[in-house]
Chains A and B, each alone.
Chain A
Amino acid sequence: MRPFAYVSAPDVDTAVRAIAEQPGAKLLGGGTNLVDLMRQDVERPTTVVDISSVPLTGVDELPDGGLRIGALVRNSHLAAHPLVRTRFPVLAQALLSGASGQLRNMATVGGNLLQRTRCLYFVDGAAACNKREPGSGCDAIGGFHRGNAVLGTSEHCVATHPSDMAVALAALDAVVEAQSVRGTRRIPLVELHRLPGDTPHLETVLDADELITAVEVPASAVAATSRYRKVRDRASFAFALVSVAAALDVEDGAVSAVRVALGGVAPKPWRAYEAERVLTGAPATEESFRAAAEAELADASGLPGNDFKIELARRTIVATLRQLRVEGGAA
């Protein structure tokens, strides 16, 4: 690991000033991604601004029944929160399906959103990777890309965003609040991450000196009947091949409200607007679920090693909606 200057920030103001003043600075939350990548020489901050003891650790109820979640809330604490478990079970399930018990105790909400891809070549200094080194090429496309994306990719990068939590937040219309020395702004979670295009090294719309302070999840009746379903190579402690966050309300046999988002298949948490459009008002049947899944994956394109994900995603969408219809939500 390269040497760096260490700054411990007691509050947000100190932290945002420190990252504004030091162009090579990085924020340190739980460290479970940043420390790992610094050790592998992928991240090379000259200054590390430690925000792990900044008191943005509240999970507060908003007047309308939504939630305001501090950026430093640990993943395990958020998953165990009674309001999350009862009103937004998809979020609790997504968090609990990520990483391990130890890592969830360390990982913060802000760090989880901004974790980097698990593409094998991104962490391999000997490989070509446009994300790590712009213009160097992409060794995943002709290489081992079983875990890579099938939606929203470009010829320059086919990496996925690995977060489970973010997929649930995308389905829940969450809003991210970010602060810098210039002030505070709010960004819909579905607009936080960018698609790679020809600049895969630019991953979010945040500026380098912005700090995520909170995530707000608006009140949602349909969210009470929600689930997260994760398909992976092992039963536990593995990243998603495909995951589905979904919420479903049915009235008189027809879909009255629905939310769907996909993980493991795209460079960002993928809100399945097309599937939702097909489903809304349609009979809550297997045929509609399949039609919605087909519509969402219509533009998907895989590589030889990962095109199985396209059908897997369709089937996982159908299975999740069926489970919501038959068994209800995870609460």
Chain B
Amino acid sequence: MVEVQLRVNGTAHRLELDPRVSLLDALREHLGLTGTKKGCNQGACGACTVLVDGERITACLALAVQYGGREITTIEGVAHPLQQAFVRTDGFQCGYCTSGQICSALGMLAEVEAGAPSAVTEHLAEPAVALTDAEIRERMSGNLCRCGAYNGITDAIRETAGVPS
């Protein structure tokens, strides 16, 4: 067992963990924070997306012991206009992917704010990127939605970012 101090949504938790425990399982099984979902457990679906020091990661491929002392934000710690926008735009049906979509979108918007390019950005040398729908879709490709609510998700993100459609 390894001792690890996890800071989640502003609260510090001291845990004794088998080093095999993923950050996702630590959140769900050890801290009871079941808002973060497990889909594939292989990094491929994005349902487990959380923010670490403001950056989005997939918690299923993270070992909890690697993230001691970092500032972890799960959907339980998020209160953001983006959530209302998801409701307004039908950005979900069953809702299973939604907490991952929201955490991912918040991380993504911070990346755009910082001027980070994406694979569809045409001129990489330009320091700022315009958040077109193509940019949103490319940047959100790590989050799958089996219900296919992609149009609503794109609308919610565009609205929240203040980009006219």
Which residues of chain A are within 8 angstroms of B119 by Cβ–Cβ distance?
Answer: 93, 96-97, 230, 236
Interface residue? B65 (CB, 8 A): yes
Which residues of chain B are within 8 angstroms of A237 by Cβ–Cβ distance?
Answer: 44, 141-142
| Contact mask for chain A residues 89-106; partner B; CB cutoff 8 A; 1 contact, 0 none | 100110011011111011
Interface size for B (C-beta < 8 A) is 43
CA of A325 to CA of B57, assembled, Å: 38
Say yes or no: B65 contacts A6, CB within 8 Å: yes
Chain A minimum-CB-distance residue to B52: A105
Say yes or no: A76 contacts B46, CB within 8 Å: no
CA of A96 to CA of B22, assembled, Å: 26
Say yes or no: A86 contacts B125, CB within 8 Å: yes
CA of A143 to CA of B124, assembled, Å: 40
Please judge, given known A-B contacts A6-B2, A100-B46, A102-B58, whether A50 and B123 are in contact too, CB under 8 Å: no
| Contact mask for chain B residues 106-132; partner A; CB cutoff 8 A; 1 contact, 0 none | 011001001111110111110100000
Q: Is the interface of A mostly helix, strand, loop or mixed?
A: mixed
Which residues of chain A are within 8 angstroms of B123 by Cβ–Cβ distance?
Answer: 330-331
Which residues of chain B are within 8 angstroms of A97 by Cβ–Cβ distance?
Answer: 119
Give the shortest distance, in Å, between B56 (CB) and chain A (any CB). Answer: 5
Say yes or no: A96 contacts B118, CB within 8 Å: yes
Which residues of chain A are within 8 angstroms of B124 by Cβ–Cβ distance?
Answer: 85-86, 89, 92-93, 330-331
Give the shortest distance, in Å, between B7 (CB) and chain A (any CB). Answer: 15
CA of A10 to CA of B61, assembled, Å: 21
Please judge, given known A-B contacts A103-B43, A105-B57, A236-B138, whether A35 and B116 are in contact too, CB under 8 Å: no
| Contact mask for chain A residues 20-52; partner B; CB cutoff 8 A; 1 contact, 0 none | 000000001011100110010000000010101
Chain B minimum-CB-distance residue to A52: B66
Interface residue? B62 (CB, 8 A): yes
Which residues of chain B are within 8 angstroms of A31 by Cβ–Cβ distance?
Answer: 61-63, 66
Say yes or no: A102 contacts B111, CB within 8 Å: no
Interface pairs (6), CB distance under 8 Å = A80-B116, A82-B127, A92-B117, A99-B142, A101-B111, A237-B142
Residues of A within 8 A of B (CB): 1, 3-6, 8, 28, 30-32, 35-36, 39, 48, 50, 52-53, 76, 79-80, 82, 85-86, 89, 92-93, 96-97, 99-103, 105-106, 230, 235-237, 330-331
Residues of B within 8 A of A (CB): 2, 18-20, 22, 41-44, 46, 49, 55-58, 61-63, 65-66, 104, 107-108, 111, 114-119, 121-125, 127, 137-143
Given pairs A100-B141, A102-B57, 7 additional interface contacts (CB within 8 A): A28-B63, A31-B62, A52-B66, A80-B117, A85-B125, A89-B124, A102-B43
